Structure 1
Amino acid sequence: MRWRICSCKAYDKTERASPGLTARRKCILNMDRHLYLLLTIFRPKPIFMRKRLYLLLAFLWMGVCMLSAQTKNVSGRILSAENDEPIAGATVLVKGTSIGVVSDAHGHFTLKVPESATELIVSFIGMETQEVGIKANLTIRLKPANEKLDEVMVVAYGTAKKSSFTGAAEVIKNEQLEKMNVVSVTKALEGTAPGLQVMGGTGQPGSGATVRIRGIGSLSSSSAPLYVLNGVVFDGDISSINPDDIESISVLKDAASAALYGARGANGVIMIQTKKGNAEKSTLSVKAVWGFSSRAIPEYSRIGIKDYYETSWEAYRNALVGTGQSMEKASEYAAANLINRQLGGYNNYNIPADKLIGADGKVDASARLLYHDNWGDALFRTGLKQDYMLSMSGGSDKTTYYLSLGWLDEEGIMTRTDYQRFTARANINSQFTDWFNLEGNMGYTNDKSNQMMQAKGTYAINPFFYSRMIAPIFPIYKRDEQGNYILDSEGNKVFDYGEKRPFNGRTNNLATLIHDAVWNQTDNFNINVTAGTKFLRNFTFKVSGSADILNRRYTKMYNNKFGDAANVGGRGSVEALRIESLTFNQILNFNKELGLHNVSAMVGHESYRYVEKSVFAQRTGFPLEMSNDLVFGAQLEDGSSQTDEHAIEGWFGQVGYDYANRYYISGSYRRDGSSRFYKDSRWGDFWSVGASWRISQEAFMKNAKWMDNLKLKVSYGVQGNDNILDENKDPYYYAWQNFFEPYPNHDFGGVIHSTTGNRDLHWEKNTNFNVGLEFSFLNRIRGEVDYFIRKGEDMLYAVPVPYSTGLPSIVQNAASMDNKGIELQLSFDILKERAFKWTLDLNLTHYKNKLTKLTQEEVWDGTKKWVEGGSIYDFWLMKWAGVDAENGDELWWYKNGDAWEKTNDYSLASKDPKSKQYVGSAIPKVYGGFTNNFSWKGLNLSVFFSYSVGGKMYDSNYQLLMHAGSLGHAWHKDILKRWRNPGDVTDVPRIEKGNRYIAKSSNRFLKDASYLSLRNINLSYTLPAEWSSRVGMSSVKVFVSGDNLVTFTKLKGMDPTQAFSGVSDNTYVPNRVVSVGLNINF
């Protein structure tokens, strides 16, 4: 039989049998000429070889034609089901094959698919994967996935899915952090997660906040959580981490999640994970933010100049009456001598000082005010802020990278305070082979700041105390009798240092800020390198080494013209600090799936070493102002150096098991040894067990279609705390050793025995129990409720010892304490199916603190008293009994035997400690936060509030402003409601210069600390992809943001977020920041 390639008749029967081959026939006919040429070239001689060759080439060519004939083009567009915005980068795969494409910036795709293909699989991160039938001009709308179930959390020494995790943890994503333009990430945490309590700290540029997790962790040790950066304990300055580099933050709250950190995990763990590269996408990002800041907490309301003179006259007159003078004579004497004898001769009016105030205590109605200097306006300013960020990420299937550079320049609201920060980060991950990878994370920060000499307390050089408490009659610059400025020989205003001023004489805070200086410069470098290998299919082994290195130079320069250092010709000091911490660990992991069974195990070892070295020197006699080096000082006044070292060695392991993605159990164990304890009690054992049950996966829940997820979890375990603090709240590394301090004796050296060591000291232990329920239903409502019990045992605190020892106390394991509470988190997708989307997230926490064991009957700590059954933040104060309407005396309750009586004798009332009563606690009843997110097309609005309900705050600032008559000090406006005449009914007692028993400590100054704070508003607009792609950009977002905008409290001026202890101080007030920004991705 002869085969004719070109013959149409040869295909007649086949064609009739299979009409679908018509295209093949035409293809062969069209290609006949090319085959003929090929056959002519080869010219096979034997006929059988020629036949075989003909057949082979024919079938090959038919195969090519069949492929061409059996493919078709499919095109379409992928949109978000929520707002119809295009989705760029979505993956489109032909089901059952590896054929696929990725959607472009406008969501469009075109794909050649086999003729037999019927379905496509469309997927995108954060969206539900869909299978769709193939047809012309597809429009595919992807719905958001239930991310909480599949959310991968960074946990101790690894990662875990939210759905399988047995512990209590929260994840704060980059999307939440980037809305708040904060310098330190700790200031972005308030109200973001249940169980997380944040106090704002100070408004000093570059400063961070104080964080606690699930209550109070210790009496005398630190209650601060452990910070972990990219899997390694971080000892650097938390403010050195650029928030824009952060991918996510995991807050580990119970034993099941944090026990693997053993010695350091008792107070919870905050795990910070920085961004990584994406092999599928290369991105260049530019972010620029410009803003301005002002004080977020308004100043206390104070009386003006006229009221001040009249109030001062009354206080002076009442003091004179107290010496036995008649009311008439006292009134006249006070009027004639108040300004010149009591107020340093400062007269703001055009009438002579002895004539300004009449015997009735009123300022002459004809008097004209010559000047009124506002110290607040002079000391405070509107601070400017600039923040720039450049980052690159991408990679290949072998190596991914993330690189970034950041620059921040922030002015403080206090004159001459600022902060600059340069950051650089490089995160690189290389998969060299299928079984070996190497990962490196490197970060560097250089920051500089100008600070104040004092930013808290009642120091004359603290501008916040000074500007609040100085009377309004005192000028900033010297004035003549007509109120004109006095100028020096060069025509400059002359500062008034108040040589005769009764308030902080020989000081001027504006001059101090100009002529004195505090510089702080820090270099912070951290690096972590991890090598990992896979072997025997189910095993991985990782070796990691990391280093944190911090170098800080802290310089203080006091001027030689005025103030404390004027008599020594100026004073300068420099402290150089270097901190090195090294961590090495080796971790072996095992994972195995056996049908419906999943088993995992991990064992590891870790070594940690911490070294802190400091050198301090101080000199006097500086001929040049603002010298920034001690070499210019003539006399060495002080010098010292110190080295502290600390080490921890640990072995740990963890096992996990789950069945059918329904039942989960886990267990962990760690054994740590700490150099802070004597060798016989150095080692501690810490462990946890946890279990969870996904009820929604059970067969009996199949008909509950409305229930997306229902999970019950429980955990229990023991964690440790070795972070002992000294009386100054600084780390104490030598509690088991006797401690000696230098004590020079004229020209001879010497030491004194300052602390007695205790070799019996051992670990504080925190026993943690947690039970929780996670739920999600209607694909719209999600939530979690947790109940926890945290028991602290063998807690360290200083127990008093007999005076004969020559020491006040010795540290012992002598107390126990409980924290019990409940946490609730809810999320609502109120509107999600339309272009307009509205979500609401809220959380709340309630907990109680209780001392369950003390070796002493009671322990006093300022305004607090510790007793068994009470809290460490319970206020015990004299109970205020009001004002005597007949004489204006302040009254208190005191215990006379078994009876409670009123008295105006504070010394009698306070003599017996039993007269002090429990009047409230600084711990709030409930605290948390809530966020509303609105979006419409490319427009997004986020409104975030934090709140606290209940709890008390002792407002010592308000107490100072309600003084009895410390002339030269400002008064709060409430002083105008004072008692003046017999029969007056008021809650403000009379004023009387020199009376030590008015405005004494009592619950009169204990205020409700409840607040509602508008922490953040962020409005952003993302340009349509069609617009940005025209100029070569993948996305462009512009935004305006406001942080710390307003805080509503019961008393204007009070900052309820100042301290966990609930006692106010004259600290750097929080800042309100309003900013605009631009974020461009290429």
Structure 2
Amino acid sequence: MKKINKLKIRERAGVTMTLLLLFISFTAFAQNGTVVTGTITDANNVPIPYANILEKGTTNGAVSDFDGVYSIEVSDVDTSELVFSLIGFKSQTKPVAGNASIDVVLQEDVANLDEVVVIGYGSQKRSDVTGAVASANIEAFENSPNTNIAQSLQGTVAGLNIGQVNSAGSTPEISIRGQVSLNGSQSVLIVLDGIQFNGSLSSLNPNDIESIDVLKDVSSTAVYGAQAANGVILITTKGGRRNQKAKISVSSSYATLQSTTDHRPLRRSDYIDHINMQLYDLRFLGPDYTTPNPDYVGYFEPGQGINANFELESDTNPGEFSDNDYDWWGNGTQTGFVQENEVSISGASETTSYLVSMGLTEQEGIINNDNFSRRSLRVNLDTNVSEGWKIGVQAFGSFEKLDGDEPHISQLRNFSPLLVPFDEDGNLIPNPAGTIEPNPFLGQNTQDYERKDYFFANVYSEVDLPFIEGLSYRINFGNNYRIEKRYGSSIYGAGLTGDAGKDIRFYRDYTLDNLLNYNRLFGKHDISATLLYGAIERKDERTNAYASGFDRLSLGYNDLSVGAIPIIGSSSFKETLNYQMLRANYKFDNRYIITGTIRRDGFSGFAANEKSAYFPSGALGWVASNESFLQNSDWVNNLKVRASYGIAGNQTGRYTSLARLGTKAAYVFGDGGSPAFGQELTTLANPNLRWEKTAGLNVGVDFSLFSSRLNGSIDTYKNITDDLLFSVRIPYLTGFSNIQTNVGKIQNTGLEVSLTGDIVRNDNFTWTAGLNYSRNKNEILELTGEDADGDGVEDDLIQSGLFIGESINAIYDYETDGIYQIGDDIPDGYGIGNYRIVDQNNDGLITQADDRKIIGTRDPSYAISLLNTFKYKNLSFSFFLNSIQGNDGNYISRNDNALYRNANTLYQNVVSGIDYWSPQNPDGLNAMAPNRPGIAGTRYEDRSFIRLQDVNLRYSFDNNVLESLGLDALSVFISGKNLATWTDWNGFDPEYQDSDRNIYGVGLTTGGRPVLKGYSLGVNLSF
């Protein structure tokens, strides 16, 4: 939701007070006393016009001017007290105490400000909102080194789930209130300045964003229909404020980036110990492997080695590289940084407001060539053409540069420090280990050009229609345009023969919305309605050319014709949507509120018989604090109870209702002939494929208590998704492999709590705390409805990992119970050092069919966060704790680094910190054995964590300094990101996980990447 026209609200309040105070001031004019002057500003050092100043205990008063300056004559300079107030701000009382100048900073009182908020295709008073709508506190994180605005949302809104990022410029995974679909769209709808935005959030300059609001329940998302099945994030960009003189703002910051963990590949000494550890059965004798083998000299000692059968062999000497101690990881990584520079100019007259901004962001991650650069330009303009008619545009261009390929991360970790990447002449050795594994630095020694250009514009016109009072018409025309280029070449590609290629993609869409809005107040009856008719068209085209086998690559990707083997490909798609929506609101006596919405969606991707569908919703609200029995309450300032119910839809992917073709080798002409390629149908058409539908119930309460010292909201919800879009496998003898159809049912339930409290509040010091808590549980209620074994129970889809009565993210695997130790009764096929697999049916055998079970889920039990903000005069300090917790098998992931000895493990490196079992370390967590059993099992760990995610310290200079420098505002800050994480997880980070639900975690695997922490220093100023 977006605060709009705050100054307009202040102005209306101020005009009323001005008329009153003109009379008061006139009557007090003849009094003799001392004049007190000063400036009134808000927490951001913005002057507050029309604030009221009253001498306590008298009728003597004054009003601040447009620049926040006031002057008042007091009766007694020693004993008088001044009361400063304005609607929407917390009142302050200041003793004069002989001071001729008193400056005041007023703090916003959000609970008492009946602000107008954007809710999608219109606006409402916050007190009138009946759905589950939450605002993100992005101001608290504006000084954090976040290149992507989604990083500033992490943990800030109950029910909004934002993942971690570990590479430059990347966008985290985003979801709202859990997963409600299997194969349907999982994407949260992003609405930018009223227009659906299909670009990457990485293209947005965080400094351009005014507010971010989250629509969570069906009632609030209903206006966006099936586009909003997974929730909506409304992003509103900045603009000039009414009657604001031209203001230039400049900000600059620099942050360092480094790994949050110390897990590095082993260096020479530890690496040799690690290899020798694997050979415990050769190094030691006896049943307990405690007696040293006198014939074992050492794997890397002269004259000693191991042959292919892992037997001692004095003629094998792998120690020829033993003098080397090459740091592969250190040479493939770096200290990263984020550098941001922004400048903007904004202002407004009586009729026109504007903002022009430019930004440059440069980021380097900790892996070589993990680079991100963004240049951005934004223009926002609104103007009143005449009385009742305004037009405007919000437009931006963003240009991303991601040139450079990284070294192969897995090889950086597992290459032996006894190997070196270069020969004596300084040339890269393609395969230093003498195997097919490439030199990791081959990956970064490429010619790589990667650019992404984003263009966005929303042009609108709004006019008040003269024939019906309160009726207006608005037209929005929005465009997204994107160009992606990826060019590359490598002399080491295609088996060292060289390869090169060009890939270019053009995407564009338009949105056209026609809106009729009606707002009227008839006594105690407040009526509003919105009628929408709109359409969206999306087009995409892609062309790629590739060649391999180059005699030379002097021209790189700019002359693919000299390649011996060319490959050319192209693709395109077009899809269209149309929609109609009616929303009506009725409020009686500021106490009882009814909201109803009906939306019709049409999408070209559905079958001919099911192109469109209807989605209704309704909501009720009761403002109990406006009832007579609570109006004079000493502790209840605001209390609203609300409930909503509705049905939302979800889209299928394009072409999924159609029979699709695949290309394969189809026929061989004659003996020894080459195969001819042909096309065949691979999927069966479904002319009745219909919309997935989610029925949602939400009950909530909003409250403000104890003189607005405690504010918050509580929501509980239950969503049931039916007619799930799912690709069902069918017997291939039919000639097809699968068909997209509607099967099954999912239930989603949850609880969300948001609290904000003023713990300490006085003239010089404030302490504010905000807490968010959320939990979500999903359960599969139905699947295909089939009962193949005839036991009267519907079958699970085991191959797809889906089980009735379990979470979508249930983990179905073998249960382990420690590691087999020396002296244990070990079944056939297993040995010491192997995981002990639990025999679920106690038949003495470990089998795939009988011994797997649901051992837990990737879903967390709950998420909780706490933001503390302290302000003392001009100094502010805040820290943000974010936590996700699991219990009873929740929030677990695979974190297994088992090592089974073979030719690879006897030269590959590992990262530090992996706790392996051995006879000398019987309590080790990870299996380590000479042989891998047929069913080896795996180890899972709890991912629960508490993270010190953000720390900010800022100092804002006072007016005396600003006047001497000729500035309107000046502040300096230092901040930290991801400074500490408390967890039992043994890995790079417990929060970052692969988005593919079939991959249960990254742990300390060779492909994992650490999450980054950073320290930032910056300055903000305006003049």
In structure 2, distance between residues paired with 1:125 and 1:341? 84
Give the match's secondary structure for 1:250.
strand
In structure 2, distance between residues paired with 1:975 and 1:998? 23
In structure 1, distance between residues paired with 2:440 and 2:298? 33
User: Quick one: which of 83, 89, 95 aligns to 1:127?
Assistant: 89
Residue 342 of structure 1: how far off its partner (Å): 6.6
User: Quick one: which of 549, 558, 567 aligns to 1:638?
Assistant: 567
Indicate the residue corresponding to 1:389 in structure 2. 342
Q: Residues 818 and 462 from structure 1, CA distance in 2 versus in 1: closer, same or farther, beyond 3 angstroms?
A: farther
Q: Residues 991 and 319 from structure 1, CA distance in 2 versus in 1: closer, same or farther, beyond 3 angstroms?
A: farther
In structure 2, distance between residues paired with 1:386 and 1:314? 45
Indicate the residue corresponding to 2:805 in structure 1. 869
Indicate the residue corresponding to 2:842 in structure 1. 899
- Tell me if structure 1 keeps the 8 A contact 2:297–2:304: no
Tell me, yes or no, if structure 1 residue 429 matches structure 2 residue 382: yes
1:370-397 Cα distance to aligned partner (Å, 9 max, x none): 4422222111101233211111111211
1:989-1068 correspondence runs (5 A): 989-992=927-930, 995-997=931-933, 1000-1002=936-938, 1005-1059=939-993, 1061=997, 1063-1065=1000-1002, 1066-1068=1007-1009
Tell me, yes or no, if structure 1 residue 944 matches structure 2 residue 880: yes
Residue 511 of structure 1: how far off its partner (Å): 3.9
Give the match's secondary structure for 1:866.
coil
Indicate the residue corresponding to 2:488 in structure 1. 556
In structure 2, distance between residues paired with 1:592 and 1:852? 45
- Tell me if structure 2 keeps the 8 A contact 1:440–1:530: yes
In structure 1, distance between residues paired with 2:90 and 2:367? 51
Indicate the residue corresponding to 2:909 in structure 1. 970
- Tell me if structure 2 keeps the 8 A contact 1:294–1:381: no
In structure 1, distance between residues paired with 2:976 and 2:764? 26
Indicate the residue corresponding to 1:582 in structure 2. 510
Indicate the residue corresponding to 1:921 in structure 2. 857
In structure 2, distance between residues paired with 1:125 and 1:475? 70
1:521-567 Cα distance to aligned partner (Å, 9 max, x none): 1111111111111123211111111111111111232x22x4x4244
Give the match's secondary structure for 2:334.
coil
In structure 1, distance between residues paired with 2:316 and 2:839? 48
User: Quick one: which of 687, 700, 721 aligns to 1:772?
Assistant: 700
- Tell me if structure 1 keeps the 8 A contact 2:814–2:852: yes
- Tell me if structure 2 keeps the 8 A contact 1:612–1:643: yes
Tell me, yes or no, if structure 1 residue 519 matches structure 2 residue 449: yes
- Tell me if structure 2 keeps the 8 A contact 1:293–1:383: yes
The one-letter code sitting in structure 2 at the alignment partner of 1:1078 is V
The one-letter code sitting in structure 1 at the alignment partner of 2:462 is G
1:195-216 Cα distance to aligned partner (Å, 9 max, x none): 011112x422111111100010
Tell me, yes or no, if structure 1 residue 979 matches structure 2 residue 932: no
Tell me, yes or no, if structure 1 residue 653 matches structure 2 residue 582: yes
- Tell me if structure 2 keeps the 8 A contact 1:941–1:1019: yes
Give the match's secondary structure for 1:750.
strand
Higher mean alpha-carbon deviation, 596-605 vs 153-162, is at: 153-162
Q: Residues 125 and 426 from structure 1, CA distance in 2 versus in 1: closer, same or farther, beyond 3 angstroms?
A: farther
Indicate the residue corresponding to 1:885 in structure 2. 822
Tell me, yes or no, if structure 1 residue 508 matches structure 2 residue 461: no
- Tell me if structure 1 keeps the 8 A contact 2:524–2:589: yes
In structure 2, distance between residues paired with 1:861 and 1:462? 34
1:213-292 correspondence runs (5 A): 213-292=176-255
After TM superposition, the score normalised by the length of structure 1 is: 0.80
The one-letter code sitting in structure 1 at the alignment partner of 2:696 is N
Residue 972 of structure 1: how far off its partner (Å): 5.6
In structure 2, distance between residues paired with 1:792 and 1:757? 23
Q: Residues 254 and 826 from structure 1, CA distance in 2 versus in 1: closer, same or farther, beyond 3 angstroms?
A: same
- Tell me if structure 1 keeps the 8 A contact 2:835–2:937: no
Q: Residues 275 and 879 from structure 1, CA distance in 2 versus in 1: closer, same or farther, beyond 3 angstroms?
A: same
The one-letter code sitting in structure 2 at the alignment partner of 1:462 is H
User: Quick one: which of 480, 485, 495 aligns to 2:428?
Assistant: 495
Indicate the residue corresponding to 1:959 in structure 2. 897
In structure 2, distance between residues paired with 1:915 and 1:999? 10
Tell me, yes or no, if structure 1 residue 700 matches structure 2 residue 629: yes
In structure 2, distance between residues paired with 1:538 and 1:378? 68
Indicate the residue corresponding to 2:19 in structure 1. none
In structure 2, distance between residues paired with 1:991 and 1:566? 34
1:572-721 correspondence runs (5 A): 572-622=500-550, 623-624=552-553, 627-631=556-560, 633-721=562-650
Indicate the residue corresponding to 2:393 in structure 1. 440
Q: Residues 915 and 830 from structure 1, CA distance in 2 versus in 1: closer, same or farther, beyond 3 angstroms?
A: same
Give the match's secondary structure for 1:911.
coil
Indicate the residue corresponding to 2:826 in structure 1. none
In structure 2, distance between residues paired with 1:142 and 1:308? 61
The one-letter code sitting in structure 2 at the alignment partner of 1:1020 is R
- Tell me if structure 2 keeps the 8 A contact 1:522–1:552: yes
1:15-64 Cα distance to aligned partner (Å, 9 max, x none): xxxxxxxxxxxxxxxxxxxxxxxxxxxxxxxxxxxxxxxxxxxxxxxxxx
- Tell me if structure 2 keeps the 8 A contact 1:851–1:872: yes
1:63-118 Cα distance to aligned partner (Å, 9 max, x none): xxxx99997799644677999x98733315799xxx99644768444799xxxxxx
In structure 2, distance between residues paired with 1:310 and 1:1034? 63
Give the match's secondary structure for 2:386.
coil
In structure 2, distance between residues paired with 1:555 and 1:749? 29
Unaligned runs of 5+ in 2: 1-24, 55-60, 75-80, 286-290, 667-673, 787-793, 824-830
Structure 1 or 2: more helix by fraction: 1
Q: How many percent identity over aligned positions?
A: 23
- Tell me if structure 1 keeps the 8 A contact 2:549–2:565: no
Indicate the residue corresponding to 2:778 in structure 1. 849
1:300-349 Cα distance to aligned partner (Å, 9 max, x none): 36655344334434545749999xxx9969957977787585799xxxxx
User: Quick one: which of 540, 553, 557 aligns to 2:472?
Assistant: 540
Tell me, yes or no, if structure 1 residue 415 matches structure 2 residue 368: yes
Give the match's secondary structure for 2:170.
coil
In structure 2, distance between residues paired with 1:988 and 1:747? 48
Residue 929 of structure 1: how far off its partner (Å): 1.6
After TM superposition, the score normalised by the length of structure 2 is: 0.84
Q: Residues 102 and 174 from structure 1, CA distance in 2 versus in 1: closer, same or farther, beyond 3 angstroms?
A: farther
Residue 768 of structure 1: how far off its partner (Å): 1.2
- Tell me if structure 2 keeps the 8 A contact 1:880–1:891: yes
User: Quick one: which of 382, 398, 408 aligns to 1:462?
Assistant: 408
User: Quick one: which of 149, 163, 173 aligns to 2:127?
Assistant: 163
In structure 1, distance between residues paired with 2:201 and 2:84? 41
In structure 1, distance between residues paired with 2:851 and 2:544? 46
Indicate the residue corresponding to 1:1076 in structure 2. 1017
User: Quick one: which of 169, 182, 203 aligns to 1:206?
Assistant: 169
Q: Residues 369 and 107 from structure 1, CA distance in 2 versus in 1: closer, same or farther, beyond 3 angstroms?
A: farther
In structure 2, distance between residues paired with 1:654 and 1:802? 47
Residue 960 of structure 1: how far off its partner (Å): 5.7
Q: Residues 1073 and 962 from structure 1, CA distance in 2 versus in 1: closer, same or farther, beyond 3 angstroms?
A: farther
Q: Residues 509 and 700 from structure 1, CA distance in 2 versus in 1: closer, same or farther, beyond 3 angstroms?
A: same
The one-letter code sitting in structure 2 at the alignment partner of 1:167 is G
In structure 2, distance between residues paired with 1:661 and 1:196? 30
The one-letter code sitting in structure 2 at the alignment partner of 1:165 is V
- Tell me if structure 1 keeps the 8 A contact 2:587–2:593: yes
1:139-150 correspondence runs (5 A): 144-148=107-111, 150=114
Indicate the residue corresponding to 2:16 in structure 1. none
- Tell me if structure 1 keeps the 8 A contact 2:447–2:556: no
Unaligned runs of 5+ in 1: 1-66, 113-118, 345-350, 358-367, 454-460, 479-485, 725-731, 904-908
The one-letter code sitting in structure 1 at the alignment partner of 2:439 is N
In structure 2, distance between residues paired with 1:516 and 1:841? 49
1:750-778 Cα distance to aligned partner (Å, 9 max, x none): 32323222111111111111101111111
In structure 2, distance between residues paired with 1:448 and 1:922? 35
Tell me, yes or no, if structure 1 residue 756 matches structure 2 residue 684: yes
The one-letter code sitting in structure 2 at the alignment partner of 1:1057 is E
- Tell me if structure 2 keeps the 8 A contact 1:962–1:971: no
Aligned residue pair count: 940
